[in-house]
Amino acid sequence: MLAGLLGTCRYHILGEEHYLPFYRARRPVIFVLWHGRLLPCTYAHRREGIATLVSQHRDGGYIARIVERWGFQVVRGSSTRGGSPAFRQLLRHLRAGRSLAITPDGPRGPREQMKPGPLLLAQLSGAPIIPGAGGADRAWWFGGWDRFLVPRPFARLRIVHGEPLRIPRDADAAALGSYSADLEARLAAVMRIADAA
């Protein structure tokens, strides 16, 4: 049903130059986007062999089935349930050359506030973080904690990718805090562009 809906939409993808060189060099990236915007972004990147973190909560099972059909490798876990094993699995995916997609405010918020997982994965793996966002000219907005966006049929979607952010291996806690604030600002910037659809 969702694939049929999203298949009616028209996509305008911006910022491919920020991640395609890594793809061509067979080097992984870490796509980071807010939970409320995952639907258009996930569909736009289907069948690329990306691994993604999906919560172990009941609604996570539904999301996992959808994204697996779209060609994603699913890792189940979250910051509150199964976090450490999931983190190790994600790191193994990166070291095997597979890109990741992570929603760092999931699975339950606070909305659009960074959790440290993507930064630590980038620090340990050397993979760059690519901030992303999806917007639609016509959409339904669901009233949960994340204001989940579902495009309406035949909507025009704008998928935006920002410049890569690298986290140095020797970054300490204070530096990671600064990078976290920087990444939140980058996500806000790509969201503004996406919402100009």
Cis bond before residue 110 (omega within 30° of 0)? yes
Query: What is d(CA 92, CA 88) in angstroms, rounded to the nearest whole number?
Result: 6
pTM for this entry: 0.93
Q: What is the pLDDT of residue 62?
A: 79
The larger pLDDT score, comparing residue 177 to residue 57, is at: 177
Answer yes or no: is pLDDT of 30 > 90. yes
Reading the block at residue 54, the tokens are: 């999906």
* Amino acid letter for position 81: R
Confidence tier at 77 by pLDDT (50, 70, 90) = confident
pLDDT tens column, 43-53: 999 999 999 99
Q: What is the pLDDT of residue 64?
A: 86
List, in sequence order, every residue forming a beta bridge with 75; answer none if it has no partner: 53
Cβ atoms of 28 and 98 closer than 8 Å:
yes
Q: What is the pLDDT of residue 83?
A: 60
Answer yes or no: is pLDDT of 58 > 80. no
Query: What is d(CA 70, CA 48) in angstroms, rounded to the nearest whole number?
Result: 9
Query: What is d(CA 181, CA 105) in angstroms, rounded to the nearest whole number?
Result: 13
Answer yes or no: is pLDDT of 81 > 60. no
pLDDT tens column, 92-138: 999 999 999 999 987 777 889 999 999 999 999 999 999 999 999 99
Cβ atoms of 135 and 157 closer than 8 Å:
yes
Query: Which residue spans within the chain are E strands per DSSP?
Result: 10-14, 30-32, 51-54, 73-76, 100-102, 129-136, 139-141, 149-151, 156-161
Rounded average pLDDT over 152-173: 97
Domain borders along the chain are 2-190
Answer yes or no: is pLDDT of 160 > 80. yes
Rounded average pLDDT over 33-48: 94
DSSP per position, 85-105: HHHHHHHHHHHTT--EEE-TT
List, in sequence order, every residue forming a beta bridge with 53; answer none if it has no partner: 75
Q: What is the pLDDT of residue 161?
A: 98
Rounded average pLDDT over 59-70: 84
Reading the block at residue 193, the tokens are: 């562009």
> Can you tell me which residue has the tokens 């917007």?
135
Query: What is d(CA 116, CA 105) in angstroms, rounded to the nearest whole number?
Result: 10
Please report the sign of the dihedral spanned by the C-alpha atoms of residue 86, residue 87, residue 92, residue 97: positive
Cβ atoms of 90 and 69 closer than 8 Å:
no
